[in-house]
Amino acid sequence: MNQFQYSRPAEIASAIKLLAKDSNGHFLAGGTNLVDLMKMGVVVTNKLVDINHLPLKQIQKTPTGITIGALATNSEVADSAIVKENFPLLSLAINAGASPQLRNMATTGGNLMQRTRCPYFFDITAPCNKRVPGSGCSALQGYNRMHAIFGANDQCIAVNPSDMNVALTALDATVHVSGVKGERKIKFADFHRLPGDHPELDNTLQKGELITAVDIPASPFNKNVYYLKIRDRTSYAFALVSAAAALHIENNTIKGVRLAMGGVAHKPWRLTAAETFLTGKPVNEDNFKQAAQIAMQGAKAYEYNKFKLKLAPNAVIQALKMASGIAS
């Protein structure tokens, strides 16, 4: 590991100032992803700004929903009575991720910043446009079982690995960030990027900006929810495909719905067309099957992940059945 400068400020403004003119510095929170990347030589930094002493650990109700501080740990969020009562989908998604030990360390802001687990990204001897722009994408012709079926291109077919992110995109969250130019809000749907011409960029943060909080607006999606994660083993494994489903049901009619998938794209994949189809429809398996087929429009598989073309819609159907209560 290379040498680097380490700082531990106590104020948000000081933390931002420390990275304002540094092209290769990083904020450090739980370190569950960044430290691994540094040890493997994937990330080489000359400055770490430890933000763990900043006042960013709140989980509290607001007049419009809840606010979760960027330094609230995954465990704290998942176990929060406020979250479980108002946004149980988020609690389910977080508890599906990583392991208890990692959830005790990983933070909300860090989870949003989590890098892909594509093996070619981690292999510093392999061409990877995300790690070294312009070097190529080894996954295109390589072992691409875990890779994207939506939104990918010949620059990158990696996926976002976070479970929390899938729930937050379904719940219409907003990310609060602060930088040298002041504070701004980013809709969660706009926070993560598709690879486009810059697969090295995972999100729309500007250099030196710090995530300070995540807001989730109040909604009726606090009862009929389910998070389904399909993976190779039941703990400490990333999703092959995941599906987040939240329904607002009255008299067996779907008054509102939120759907998203993970493990299928460079960003959490919101299923807006399927949501539109289901709104106003009766709760039944036929409608869920039609919604799942609508959700798959535009999907494209590669050599080793063709199974996702069948697995993904089945995951959506099952998540909807579990959320609605017609399956157990």
**Tens digit of each residue's pLDDT (9 = 90 or more) over 139-177:** 999 999 999 999 999 999 999 999 999 999 999 999 999
pLDDT value of position 162: 98
- Taking each continuous run of H as one helix and of E as one strand, the counts in the chain are 13, 12
How many Å apart are CA 83 and CA 253, to the nearest integer?
Answer: 26
Q: Is 162 helix (H, G, I), strand (E, B) or coil?
A: coil
pLDDT value of position 325: 97
Evaluate whether the domain defined by 225-324 bears CATH number 2.60.40.790: no
HEC profile for 17-33?
Answer: HHHCCCCCEEEECCCCC
How much is the average pLDDT of 94-102? 96
How much is the average pLDDT of 97-115? 97
Instruction: Supply the angle between the helices 308-324 and 285-295 in degrees, to the nearest 10.
Output: 140
| Residue type for position 59 | I
Write the pLDDT tens digit of every residue in 46-80: 999 999 999 999 999 999 999 999 999 999 999 99
How much is the average pLDDT of 225-251? 97
* Domain extents in the chain: 225-324
How many Å apart are CA 321 and CA 259, to the nearest integer?
Answer: 13
pLDDT score of 1 more than 80: no
CA dihedral 94, 98, 103, 108 (to 10 degrees): -50
CA dihedral 200, 16, 72, 39 (to 10 degrees): 50
